[in-house]
């Protein structure tokens, strides 16, 4: 890059300049795609790359004095402890800031090969940082770009250094050089990918586990914590970040409207729901095959619809497991903590992209109001007190409203259904928050605004149930999501965040109620959403076969390859459909009708490709020889005749060294008869070639015939 600020740049130098800038940019984008870089770092690094790109293109000339560079460096040395202690607060972010500061300074000031070596090292450090920080599929794209640009940088760099070490001046043509060098880079990159593909699927990933304890968490979503404030879920529903992917074991279960429960919250202070713990968490350790039994014996024997599914959690700040219905059996490869009230968690170090399988029971087909079978043990007194506790300083109008809605009804199940239906019919759904935060959000929702989103409805129903003496709690998690036909899994996103109510009913236990009315403006499957299914399927593949690739995945892949190899001969054309059959029939009919014509054209094309050039050369030579024999030779024909002489000598085993002139060659031949003919022919060649004597051409032809006769 020493020519970045000069006027003229050779093609190799320019190729090297932009390759190195692209290498730095790909590493930078890989880290930026992880979501860990703050806005100032993103902007400063982007400006530095853009500035250097303008310098490489000759648009901008910039030289920063060494005094200024030293001053900026000393200032950052003093700033680094402040960044570590007060701004970033941890080692990894402050170290990333330091790497990018060095990168910016080197990008703007690099002039020597040593500087370029440090820039290559910085680009490698950026990619390594992205390896640790990023879990998204876009990292794979930046990795491929880094590979291609890395080959381009090192190839062009070696050419530059080789040229600089030459002692003689050699002419290097710039025409097509960048195109040829780019082709070499692409071929080398493709070869590297092919050679490493087998190794990639042969070795499980281990670096991720090694660096996992250095990671800081990024997300904080409802359903993942033990605290939810009114209005919080409405803010989260505006986002569209994937949370988890669910695959139903039976295709007929895909259309089911399910709720994915993550947390049960029992304590409400009028604004925030939380879950205090009355006892230590119970640790459940998987048995053989990772199996855990979560339900009690009466629950395992109960009737109702059962579903089985597998859940793959994306990488987020959550140690919560999500279930649809009442989980009975769980298969997972890590210990599970069961906390009050019926929440399930795993260790933070195990929560990065966790995968588990569940067998659950949905609500029985009969109404909970008609339930007579004992499915659950009675609540403990301390739990009943907790689930009936009302928020302090509650608006008395809420008590009057609850009693007015249930009326004289004494059945807890029917009372719960009356409150649920009242809220669904009398209030409307909206994601808009109040213009200003009210002092009593629940009272403001029930008696003034009369519209809100799910946690307002769930909070109102839970409090009204407690007023009439029914233990209740709020449940948070997600709605069903949307089915992705590309990956074959249910996609659950942050926009599917939801809150509902669980009420304790005699004989039945915890029953689910959802007082939230449907959204009047539901999201539709737009073209953009359908296209996003492909990126989501790629993300699922990336998570399953790259980040979570282990011995089980290896065995699964080997089994699939074995099945495919056994059926490849029988099922190669399965699924192509009638259209392919019709196309094949049309091809056969055309072949029968025009087959001989097409075969003849193919043979002509092959013959022309194989012998056309040699035949044309033979014909041209023959015509020139005939012209010479007619006495119409010119000086250019002398070379043709001399070449024919060399061909005759070649058949006798005699070769002319390139460094000998024709006269010198004629005098070094060993065979006397051949030497005499060659000397005479050489003399005639010089007369025709340099003297323009056309009569010499006839002598050359005669001498050639004489030489061939002696061969």
Query: Phi first, then psi: what are they for 311, rounded to 5°?
Result: -120, 130
User: Above 60 in pLDDT, residue 368?
Assistant: no
- In angstroms, the CA 677 to CA 686 distance is 14
Q: How many CB atoms lie within 10 A of CB 183?
A: 11
**Residue 228 tokens, joined:** 């939810």
Q: Parallel, antiparallel, or unpaired: how do β-strands 343-345 and 323-324 relate?
A: unpaired
**Spatial distance between the Cα atoms of 103 and 84, rounded to a whole number of angstroms:** 19
The pLDDT value given to residue 214:
44
pLDDT value at position 622?
65
CA distances from 687 to 508, 542, 624, 635, 682 (A): 119, 77, 18, 9, 9
Is residue 301 predicted with pLDDT exceeding 70?
yes
| Mean pLDDT score, 180-197 | 69
Mean pLDDT of 648-663: 84
pLDDT digits (tens, 9 = 90+) for 267-299: 998 888 987 655 567 888 888 878 898 887 777
Determine contact, residues 236/497, Cβ cutoff 8 Å: yes
**Domains of the chain: which residue ranges?**
11-165+177-202, 227-534, 631-710
Q: Tell me which range, 273-282, 297-306, 539-548, is most confidently predicted by mean pLDDT.
A: 297-306
Question: What pLDDT was estimated at residue 379?
Answer: 85
Which tokens go with 105? 């300074």
Instruction: Select from 137, 476, 133, 492 the least CA-distant residue to 312.
Output: 492
Confidence at residue 642, expressed as pLDDT on a 0 to 100 scale = 87
Q: Give pLDDT tens digits for 101-119.
A: 888 988 888 888 888 888 8
| pLDDT for the residue numbered 17 | 87
| pLDDT at residue 423, as a whole number | 95
- Taking only the tens place, the pLDDT of each residue in 598-648 is 666 666 666 665 555 555 656 666 666 666 665 566 777 788 888 888 888
The count of other CB atoms within 10 Å of the CB of residue 575 is 6
218 has pLDDT over 50: no
How large a percentage of the chain has pLDDT more than 70?
A: 70
Look at residue 503 and tell me whether its pLDDT is greater than 70: yes
Of 572 and 242, the one with more pLDDT = 242
The pTM for the full model equals 0.56
Q: Classify burial at 647, counting beta carbons within 10 Å of its beta carbon; exposed 0-12, middle 13-18, buried 19 or more.
A: exposed
On whether the CB atoms of residues 305 and 253 are closer than 8 A, the answer is no
Residue 240 has pLDDT above 70, yes or no: yes
Residue pLDDT, tens place only, 512-523:
999 999 877 766
pLDDT digits (tens, 9 = 90+) for 65-97: 888 888 888 888 888 888 888 887 777 778 878
Encoded tokens for 259: 């709720």
pLDDT at 130 over 70: yes
- Two structure tokens written together for 465: 């149930």
Q: Determine the 3-state secondary structure of 334 from DSSP.
A: coil
Q: What contacts 466, CB < 8 A, 6 or more positions away?
A: 387, 388, 389, 390, 472
3-class state of residue 572 by DSSP: coil
Task: Decide: 52 and 108 in contact? Cβ < 8 Å.
Answer: yes
What does the alpha-carbon distance between residue 439 and residue 462 come to, in Å, rounded to a whole number? 20
Contact 314, 242 (CB under 8 A): yes
- H/E stretch holding 338: strand 336-339
pLDDT digits (tens, 9 = 90+) for 6-22: 345 677 788 888 889 98
Question: For residues 116 and 111, what is the distance between their CA atoms, to the nearest angstrom?
Answer: 8
What integer best gives the mean pLDDT of the chain? 77
> Percent of the chain, pLDDT > 90?
15
158-162 contacts: CB < 8 A, separation 24 or more? 159/12, 159/16, 160/12, 160/13, 160/16, 161/113
Q: CA 191 to CA 195: how far, in whole Å?
A: 6
pLDDT band at 708 (very low <50, low <70, confident <90, very high): confident
Secondary-structure breakdown of the chain: helix, strand, coil percentages, each rounded to the nearest 5: 55, 15, 30
Higher pLDDT, 5 or 107: 107
The gap from C-alpha 163 to its chain's centroid, in whole angstroms, comes to 39
- Statement: residue 400 has pLDDT above 90: yes
Among 70-74, 128-132, 135-139, 379-383, whose mean pLDDT is lowest? 135-139
Residue with tokens 């409307």: 428
H helices of 134-166, in order, are 138-165
Give dist(CA 239, CA 237) in Å, integer.
5
Q: How confident is the model at residue 5 (pLDDT cuts 50, 70, 90)?
A: very low
Q: Which of 81, 114, 111 is nearest to 98 (CA)?
A: 81
User: Which H or E run includes 206?
Assistant: none
Report the distance separating Cα 450 and Cα 434, nearest Å: 11
At a CB cut-off of 8 Å and minimum separation 6, what does 510 contact?
342, 376, 502, 503, 504
């Amino acid at each position: 890059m020493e020519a970045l600020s000069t006027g003229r740049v050779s093609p190799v130098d320019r190729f090297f300049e932009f390759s190195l800038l692209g290498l730095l940019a790909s590493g930078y984008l890989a880290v930026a795609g992880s979501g860990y870089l703050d806005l100032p770092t993103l902007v400063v690094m982007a400006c530095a790359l853009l500035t250097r790109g303008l310098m490489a293109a000759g648009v901008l000339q910039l030289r920063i004095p060494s005094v200024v560079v030293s001053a900026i460096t000393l200032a950052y040395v003093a700033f680094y402890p402040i960044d570590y202690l007060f701004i970033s607060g941890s080692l990894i972010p402050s170290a990333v800031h330091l790497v990018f500061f060095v990168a910016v300074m080197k990008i703007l000031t690099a002039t020597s090969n040593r500087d370029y070596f440090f820039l290559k090292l910085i680009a490698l450090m950026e990619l390594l940082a992205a390896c640790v920080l990023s879990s998204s599929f876009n990292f794979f794209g930046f990795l491929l770009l880094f590979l291609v640009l890395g080959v381009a940088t090192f190839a062009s760099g070696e050419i530059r250094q080789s040229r600089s070490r030459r002692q003689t001046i050699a002419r290097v043509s710039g025409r097509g050089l960048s195109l040829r060098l780019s082709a070499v880079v692409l071929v080398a990159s493709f070869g590297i990918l092919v050679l490493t593909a087998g190794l990639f699927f042969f070795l499980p990933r281990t670096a991720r586990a090694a660096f996992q304890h250095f990671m800081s968490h990024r997300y904080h979503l409802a359903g993942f914590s033990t605290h939810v404030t009114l209005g919080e879920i409405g803010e989260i529903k505006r986002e569209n970040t994937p949370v988890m992917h669910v695959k139903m074991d039976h295709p007929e279960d895909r259309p089911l409207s399910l709720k994915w429960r993550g947390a049960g919250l029992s304590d409400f202070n009028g604004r925030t729901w939380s879950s205090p713990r009355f006892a230590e968490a119970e640790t459940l350790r998987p048995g053989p095959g990772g199996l855990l039994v979560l339900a009690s014996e009466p629950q395992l024997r109960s009737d109702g619809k059962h579903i089985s599914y597998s859940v793959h959690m994306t990488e987020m700040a959550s140690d919560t497991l999500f279930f649809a219905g009442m989980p009975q059996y769980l298969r997972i490869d890590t210990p599970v903590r069961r906390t009050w009230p019926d929440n399930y968690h795993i260790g933070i170090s195990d929560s990065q992209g966790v995968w588990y399988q569940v067998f659950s029971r949905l609500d029985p087909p009969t109404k909970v109001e008609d339930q007579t079978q004992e499915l659950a043990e009675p609540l403990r007194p301390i739990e009943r007190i907790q689930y009936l506790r009302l928020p302090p300083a509650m608006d008395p109008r809420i008590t009057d409203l609850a009693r007015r809605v249930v009326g004289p009804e004494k059945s807890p199940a029917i009372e719960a259904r009356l409150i649920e239906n009242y809220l669904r019919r009398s209030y409307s759904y909206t994601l808009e928050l109040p213009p200003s935060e009210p002092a009593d959000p629940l009272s403001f929702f029930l008696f003034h605004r009369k519209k809100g989103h799910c946690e307002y409805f769930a909070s109102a129903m839970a409090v009204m149930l407690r007023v009439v003496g029914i233990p209740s709690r709020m449940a948070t998690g997600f709605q069903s999501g949307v089915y992705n036909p590309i990956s074959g899994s249910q996609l659950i996103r942050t926009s599917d965040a939801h809150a509902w109510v669980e009420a304790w009913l005699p004989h039945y236990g915890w029953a689910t109620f959802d007082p939230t009315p449907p959204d009047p403006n539901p999201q539709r499957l737009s073209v953009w959403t359908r296209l996003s299914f492909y990126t989501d399927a790629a993300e699922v593949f990336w998570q399953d076969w790259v980040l979570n690739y282990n011995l089980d995945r290896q065995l699964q892949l080997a089994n699939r390859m074995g099945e495919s190899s056994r059926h490849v001969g029988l099922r190669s054309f399965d699924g192509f459909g009638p259209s392919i059959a019709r196309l094949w029939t049309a091809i056969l009919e055309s072949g029968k009708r025009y087959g001989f014509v097409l075969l003849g054209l193919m043979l002509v094309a092959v013959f022309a490709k194989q012998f056309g050039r040699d035949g044309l050369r033979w014909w041209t030579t023959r015509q020139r020889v005939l012209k010479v024999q007619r006495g119409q030779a010119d000086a250019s024909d002398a070379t043709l005749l001399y070449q024919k002489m060399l061909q005759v000598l070649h058949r006798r085993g005699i070769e002319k060294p390139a460094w000998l002139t024709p006269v010198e060659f004629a005098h070094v031949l060993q065979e006397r008869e051949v030497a005499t003919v060659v000397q005479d022919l050489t003399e005639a060649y010089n007369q025709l070639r340099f003297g323009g004597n056309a009569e010499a051409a006839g002598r050359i032809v005669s001498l050639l015939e004489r030489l061939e006769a002696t061969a």
